[in-house]
Structure 1
Amino acid sequence: MIGNSVLITGGTGSFGNKFVETILDRYPDVKRLVIYSRDEMKQFRMSQKFSKEDYPCLRYFIGDVRDEKRLKRACEGIDTIIHAAALKQVPAAEYNPMEAIKTNVLGAENVINAAMDCGVKKVVALSTDKAAAPINLYGATKLCSDKLFIAANNMKGKRDLTFNVVRYGNVMGSRGSVMPFFIEKREEGILPITDKRMTRFNISLQDGVDLVMYALEHGWGGELFVPKIPSYKITDLAEAIGPNCEHKEVGIRPGEKIHEEMITAPDSFNTVDLGKYYAILPTKPVWDKEKFIDHFDAEFVEPGFTYNSGENDEWETVESLREKIKKYVDSTFSVNGQTK
Structure 2
Amino acid sequence: MTASALVPDPLLSGASILVTGGTGSFGKAFIRYALDRLDPKRLVVFSRDELKQYEVRHLFDDDPRLRWFLGDVRDRERLLRAMHHVDYVVHAAALKQVDTAEYNPWEFVKTNVIGSQNVVEAAIDAGVKKVVALSTDKASSPINLYGATKLTADKLFVTGNHYAAAYQTRFAVVRYGNVMGSRGSVIPFFARLAEQGRSLPITDLRCTRFFITLPQAVQMVVDAFDMMQGGELFVPRIPSMKVTDLAQAIAPGAPMHDISLRPGEKLHEEMISPEEGRRAVVVRDGRYFVIQPDLATWGYQPPADGKPVPDDFSYRSNTNEEWYTQDQIAAIIDAGL
Please report the TM-score for the alignment, with normalisation by the length of structure 2: 0.93
2:23 counterpart of 1:12: yes
> Which residue of 293, 296, 315 corresponds with 1:282?
293
Deviates more, 1:80-89 or 1:41-50: 41-50
Q: How does 1:233-248 map to 2 (within 5 A)?
A: 233-248=242-257
Question: Between the two proteins, what is the percent identity of the paired residues?
Answer: 52
Matches of residues 149-298 of structure 1 in structure 2 within 5 Å?
Answer: 149-188=157-196, 189-274=198-283, 275-286=286-297, 291-293=301-303, 295=304, 297-298=305-306
Q: Quote the residue 1:333 is aligned against.
A: none
Helix, strand or coil: the match of 1:72? Answer: helix
CA distance in 2, matches of 1:287, 1:42: 39
Given the alignment, which residue of 150, 158, 179 partners 1:142?
A: 150
Q: Deviating runs (4+, > 6 A) in structure 1?
A: none
State the superposition RMSD in angstroms.
1.3
Superposed CA deviations along residues 9-64 of structure 1, whole A, max 9, x for unmatched, are 00001100110101101122x21101111111111111111133xx2110111111
How does the TM-score come out when normalised to structure 1?
Answer: 0.92
Unaligned ranges ≥5, structure 1: 330-340
Give the number of aligned pairs: 323
SS in 1 for 2:176: coil
CA contact (8 A) 1:7 1:34 kept: yes
Give the SS at the match of 2:318. Answer: helix
C-alpha distance in structure 1 between counterparts of 2:297 and 2:230, whole Å: 8
Contact preservation (8 Å) 1:265, 1:303: no
**What is residue 32 of structure 2 aligned with on the other side?**
21
What's the counterpart of residue 60 of structure 2? 50
Q: Which residue of 1 aligns with 2:88?
A: 80
Equivalent in 65, 69, 78 of residue 70 of structure 1: 78
Question: Partner residue of 1:41?
Answer: 51
Distance 1:229 1:286 in 2: 31
- State the Cα distance separating 1:182 from its structure 2 match: 1.0
Give 1:287-326 correspondences, 5 Å limit.
291-293=301-303, 295=304, 297-326=305-334
Correspondence for 1:336: none
1:204–1:328 Cα contact (<8 Å) kept: no
In 1, Cα distance between the equivalents of 2:193 and 2:209? 19
Aligned counterparts of 1:21 and 1:315: Cα–Cα separation in 2: 29
1:244 CA displacement: 3.5
Is the CA contact (8 Å cut-off) linking 2:165 and 2:297 kept in structure 1? no
